[in-house]
Every structure is written in structure tokens, then in C-alpha cells.
Chains A and B, each alone.
Chain A
Amino acid sequence: MSVTLSENAAKHVASFIDRRGKGYGIRLGVRTSGCSGMAYKLEFVDDTQDEDLVFESHGVKVVVDPKSLPYIDGTELDFVREGLNEGFKFNNPNVKDACGCGESFNV
């Protein structure tokens, strides 16, 4: 069971945390909402909860709550550029279908 960052994603997360001035790591998770059932959550982490699972990927702490893990297990978070836009992308093997926007998905 694990969730990882691509090298490029890790580099960007580390630099964002550095410029933000604080932060333990990054939290990946899901919430039940959105047009296809589930939506991704991507947040800075200041405090971890007892039940949180912590992975380390390219030197960055990746925090996942146990309820989210089944939905995103095996995910690699990548950082990509599309035209002028750039940002993070979940490469999630559990996804059966996603809404066109990619912000919400179904397992």
C-alpha cells in the first residue's frame, strides 16, 4: 500500500513548502462529492492526525488518511504543464471512469 510522488512533483511540492515557510508535507485524499462521486483533495499539512498514514517519496512526506487510502492506493502524483497552465495530476490506477474535468472520479 502506498502513494507516491513523481520526481518532478516532489521537487515542486518541496519548493512550494519552502516558499510557504512552513508545512510538514502534503496531504492526498478523497472526498465524496463532485459530479462522478469522488473528488481529490490536495492540501499542505501542518498537523497530522493519529490515524494518518505517512509515506515518504523523494524526500517529501505524503500524508493519507486511512479512509481515503483504498481509493487512491497506488497513485502517483505528477506535476505537468499544459500550455500556460501547470499543476498536479493524480495518476490513479483505481479509477474506472472520471468526469471530463478530471477533478472527480469513480472507482
Chain B
Amino acid sequence: MALLQIAEPGMSTEPHRHRLAAGIDLGTTNSLVASVRNGIAVCLADEEGRTMLPSVVRYLADGGIVVGRTARAEQVSDPRNTIVSVKRFMGRGLKDVTHVESSPYDFVDAPGMVRLRTVQGIKSPVEVSAEVLKVLRDRAEAALGGELAGVVITVPAYFDDAQRQATKDAAKLAGLNVLRLLNEPTAAAVAYGLDNASEGIYAVYDLGGGTFDLSILKLSRGVFEVLSTNGDAALGGDDFDHRLFCWILDQADIEPPSSEDARRLQMKAREAKELLTVSEEAPIHVRLGSGEEVNLTITRAQFEEMTAHLVRKTLAPMRKALRDADLTPEDVKGVVMVGGATRMPRIQRSVAEFFGQEPLTNLDPDKVVALGAAIQANALAGNRKDEDDWLLLDVIPLSLGLETMGGLTEKIVPRNSTLPIARAQEFTTFKDGQTAMAFHVVQGERELVADCRSLARFELRGIPPMAAGAARIRVTFQVDADGLLSVSAREMSSRVEASVLVKPSYGLTDEEIAGMLREGVDRAGDDMLLRALREQQVEADRLLEATAQALAKDGDLLDDAERAAVGQAVESLREARNGTDHRLVKQRIDALARATDEFAARRMDRGVRSALAGHKVDEIEL
């Protein structure tokens, strides 16, 4: 017998047509599933009433798989087959993985994504994540009394295409239909914005187990717009644990510990960190495998000192995100805290100092993302009234563009554009009779292609031969709501078309994104000069080519002296073109243009004469 939930007025569904939807926060440390029931988003609990599922998967030798609390408790005894924080490996290659040396896993390098060797064979992070998702799916279906029609899964704002795709693949493997991937900070804003219905600019400070995201959001009339995002995909609560873990090793003078000892000490480090949130000092007692005992006490002040650099690391993304949104800390009406690590008093203090106000903590920072995802899932599944309809806008983190002549970047979709977005621009051919064009799709803020990240290349063939500059090729960039890019090019007269879907199998780390942004700003001056030079060089090449062709065809129109003068202008332009002074190139271009003025006029005369030859005046239509 199905149990009924209270619907919004006029929104009762037909029997058997309930569209059950859930929001999933697939976290580094813990995962949650939530759903809107009786009009309210709630986190769904397991049989023992616990909502948080540790994102830990243990592969057993007998083929069994254990997920969650039990698996976490068994980390110490079976570190190699017990996978924790697998989110860090999603869509990542081996070289992106930090702390490899203190990690107990047997990594296998594989193209695109690192793999882990377990007692059940080699597992990809996608498969491990799918195990976590399956448990959440089963829990949701038991709690909601039916099959899930769709889910919204949250990802860090800075997840690149490869990481997003890996998350979607994991969902598919777990038998889930993904309605939408949603940025975690946006989900948090959904939870706060809709529940509290307050309008204005908000900052979302999300320090999870393994990722830090800072997003600036604008809430107005139920519309959520992400103005900017910034962050660090390799910074989280785990780093605080790791710092404390290193301190313990150092204090207790432990040589590189066995993997069992390492797990035990890491667990103690986390417990101590959590205790320091509520108490001024925490004892650390561990008995090592060797029988040796570690007895230490750490004070909150000590802990805050050794992790001060981690707290500081969150400040730069905060400043950058504000700068990108063209805002100051005073413009921010409220700061939403997300992630268990934001319970640390030092974090709350530092955020309060930066924004000049106490951050909002009235929703549980561990649950807020899942609750927002549930609200979004409910809306996407069609369980809301039209009048309540609201939009959710995300932004792209780095500009997308094309390579143009001279190795320059032409930005088509500027960074921080809201998603989904489509932008088109027209390009033309460079040479007479050109029938093909190569497109190089790049990502980044720099002016030169060499400094940006290459995403894809494709070619458009079958362009009808035309004079240089006559063909019109329309290039369209489309980024869908999940942040995946497709680029198409179409020649407008013949309608020939080519396109590419960009799903890079290998992602950028956030440090790289941050680095690319920083360089874009730092090198803005150099880039401008370089761009000016490249532009003049392209123009010089075009003019030299045209002049050479004209001389070959109509050289007889010039006498020796005239030809020598043009030749000299050509030589001096060629010399300047190979230098670095864009102004000089420009001067010489103008000089060559002047030197060939008369030549051009005579060529035109000859052209007109030959066109008119053999025709009477009255045959010519004017």
C-alpha cells in the first residue's frame, strides 16, 4: 500500500504517476540523498536514522562490497581495498593526484583517469562512486516507496568536463537518470534562497572534505544567477587532517608508518580536529602496530597556527571571485557556509572578518547542498506549479574561443557567461580559392593560443573556391546546462557544415585554472603588445602575398625604377615583419601600400579595359 504525501494545491498527481525525484550530494567524505516530501526538502536517513553516508567503499576478497560507515571502520585493517575520498580521483590522471606517497592505494596509471588495484581487480573511480550512488538510490527508493524518475547530483563548481562526465557515468552505472548536474554552491543557495526567500548578493563558502568553492550569487525574484565562481579543487577538510597527521608523525618521531598505522593516525587526526571545534584542546592516544604508544595533546591555538596557511589559501579565491563579479565585500548581503569543515571556529572567524559580517549557518552545513539539489530535482521532475517556475543559471569558468591567423585567440564565449549559452561569429578565408578551414578550439584568458589550453580541432571542407575574404563561415559555440561544449562551423553559401563535441577526457586541475586566470591578468600588458604585433604580421603577410601575385601577373605595367621602389618597400616590410616592433610593421605596411598605389590603379585600368574590350558602350549596364 502506497503512502501518500501532501501535494501543493492543485498539484496532486495521478495514481502511479508520481515523479519521484531526489537530490544527491556526492561528497568527498560523506554523501547524502534528499527529497522534497510534503512540500519540504528533507535528507533521507538509513535504518538507523543516519543521513550521512561516508563515501567509503571496501572491496572484499569474497566478491562482496561494503559501503559507508562499516567500510570506514575497516579502513585500518584493510587500507588497500578500502577506498576513501574517491571523488578526488574522478576524471583525473595519476599526475594530478596529490599525496600519492602517503596514500595506501595501489594506483594504476591509465589514459584519462587513474585506476585503483583492489582485491576485486582494477577499479576506476567511476565504478567506486557508482557503489556509493547505488546505496543512496536504494535508500531513496525504500524511503519514497517507488522507483526514482530522476536525480540531481551536485559537483564542485570548478569540476571540468572530464570530471562532470565521470560523475554522470557513475550515475548511469548506478542505474540513475541524471536530470542535471548542479554546482554545489548553487545548490546551497537554492536551499537558502528558496527556504528563506531573501533577495540580494550572496557568497557561498564551501569547504568540503576535498574541495573549496567560493561562489558569488545573485538572488532576485526567485531567479538564481551565479555571478562568478572561484576555488581550489585540491583544498579541503582532508588537508587539515593531513596537516595534523604530519604533526603527529613529527611530534611522535615516527618513521614512515605502515599503511595500517597511517590510517589509524589519520582517523585520530580527524577526531582531534572535530573535537577542537568545541573544545580548547584534544588528546591524541594511539597504539601503533609495533605496540608503541603515542600520547599527545594538541590545543586549538596550536592547530590553528599549523593550519593558518590553509585558511589563508581560501582568501585569494574569495577576492578573485568578488573581483570577477565587480563587487566588494560590502556588497555581499549574506555568506552561506557549506561543508563540515566550516564548523571550525577559525574558518568562521576568517570569513566573518573578510566580509565584515557573521556567516549564515542556520541550515546544517553538511546537508544544505543535498537539500538544494532535492528542491532542484523536484522542480525538474515537474512536481512544481508553473507560477513557481524559476531558473538556475551557472557560469563557465574560463573563456572559450578559436585560434585565428598568427596564433591569436579569438574569444567567442567570455568567461563567467551564464549557462546554457550559444554564441556565433563569422570568419572568412585567408587565401584565394581556399576550400578548407581548420578550427582549433581553445580555453583560457591569454591572447596567444600557445598560452591557452587546447580543447579540440576539426576541419571544415568543401568550401566553394572564392577570393580571400569572400567566404562567410559562421562558427557557433554552444555550452549546455551541464557545461559541455559543442562547436559547429558552417559555410553560409554552400551550407557545408562540420562540428565537434568537446568532452575532454583529461581535465584541468583547479590550480591550472587559477594559474591560467592569474597569468591572464599578470600578462595582460605583454599579451596586448604581442597581439598587436601578431595582427600586424598577419596583415603584412597578406599584403606581401597579394603584392607578389600582382607582380607576377601584371609586373609589365611597371618600369624598372618603379619595380625597384616596390621591391624595396617589400624588402623593408619583410624585415620589419620578422622583428618585434608592431608600430614599425604598421609603418612599413602603409609604405608598401603607398608604393603600390599607382600600380594598383594601373592594374584596375587594365582590368576594366579587358572587361570592356569588344563591347560597345551601350552594351555596358551601369
Residues of A within 8 A of B (CB): 12-13, 16, 19-20, 26-27, 31, 33-35, 39-47, 80, 82-90, 99-104
Contact = CB atoms under 8 A, between A and B. Distances in A.
Contact of A13 (B6, B15, B142, B145): B6
Given A35-B15, A85-B142, A20 B39 contact: yes
Given A19-B40, A34-B15, A88 B6 contact: yes
B394 to A, nearest CB: 27
A42 B47 contact: no
A41 B10 CA distance: 9
B144 A85 contact: yes
Interface in B540-558: none
A87 B39 contact: no
A85 B39 CA distance: 16
A4 B5 CA distance: 17
B9 interface: yes
Contact of A88 (B5, B10, B44, B46): B5
Contacts of A90: 4
A82 B47 CA distance: 11
Nearest to A18: B40
Given A45-B9, A85-B144, A80 B3 contact: yes
Interface string B120-160: 00000000000000000001001111000000000000000
A68 B408 CA distance: 71
B10 A43 contact: yes
B9 A27 contact: yes
Contacts of A43: 6-12
Contacts of A31: 12
B622 interface: no
A102 B9 contact: no
A33 B14 contact: yes
B9 A46 contact: yes
B38 interface: yes
A46 B2 CA distance: 26
A16 B7 CA distance: 11
A103 B10 contact: no
Interface in B1-29: 1-12, 14-16
Contacts of A80: 3
Contacts of B2: 87, 101-103
Contacts of A46: 9
Contacts of A99: 15
A5 B38 CA distance: 16
Contact of A89 (B4, B9, B46): B4
B15 A87 contact: no
Contacts of A87: 2-5, 37, 145
Contacts of A27: 9
Nearest to A34: B15
Nearest to A36: B15
A84 B1 CA distance: 14
A84 B47 contact: yes
Interface string B43-63: 011110000000000000000
B6 A42 contact: yes
Contacts of B9: 27, 43-47
A42 B1 contact: no
Best-buried of B3, B11, B139 by chain A (most CB within 10 Å): B3
Given A82-B3, A88-B6, 19 more contacts: A20-B38, A26-B6, A33-B14, A33-B15, A40-B4, A42-B4, A43-B10, A44-B8, A82-B145, A84-B45, A84-B143, A85-B3, A87-B5, A88-B3, A89-B3, A90-B4, A101-B16, A102-B2, A103-B4
Contacts of B7: 41-44
A101 B3 contact: no
Nearest to A98: B1
A61 to B, nearest CB: 13
A57 to B, nearest CB: 15
Contacts of B44: 84
Contacts of B47: 84
A102 B10 contact: no
A102 B146 CA distance: 13
Contact of A41 (B12, B39, B40): B12
B142 A84 contact: yes
B15 A89 contact: no
Nearest to B140: A84
A83 B37 CA distance: 16
A28 to B, nearest CB: 10
B260 to A, nearest CB: 35
A16 B4 contact: no
A84 B16 CA distance: 19
B428 to A, nearest CB: 58
A103 B39 CA distance: 19
A65 B39 CA distance: 22
Interface in B231-245: none
B12 A42 contact: yes
Contacts of A102: 1-2
A99 to B, nearest CB: 8
A24 B592 CA distance: 84
A85 B46 CA distance: 10
Contacts of B10: 43
A32 to B, nearest CB: 11
A77 to B, nearest CB: 9
Contact of A44 (B4, B6, B16, B45): B6
Given A33-B14, A43-B11, A103-B2, A16 B39 contact: yes
Contacts of A44: 6-9, 39
B137 to A, nearest CB: 13
16 contacts: A12-B38, A16-B6, A39-B12, A39-B14, A42-B6, A43-B9, A44-B6, A44-B7, A44-B8, A44-B39, A47-B9, A80-B3, A85-B142, A87-B2, A87-B5, A88-B3
Contacts of A88: 3-6
Contacts of B1: 82, 89, 100-102
A55 to B, nearest CB: 16
A54 B47 CA distance: 38
A45 B90 CA distance: 46
Contacts of A100: 1
Nearest to A81: B3
Given A88-B6, A89-B1, A101-B1, A16 B38 contact: yes
Contacts of A19: 39-40
Contacts of A104: 15
Best-buried of B8, B9, B10 by chain A (most CB within 10 Å): B9
Contacts of A12: 38
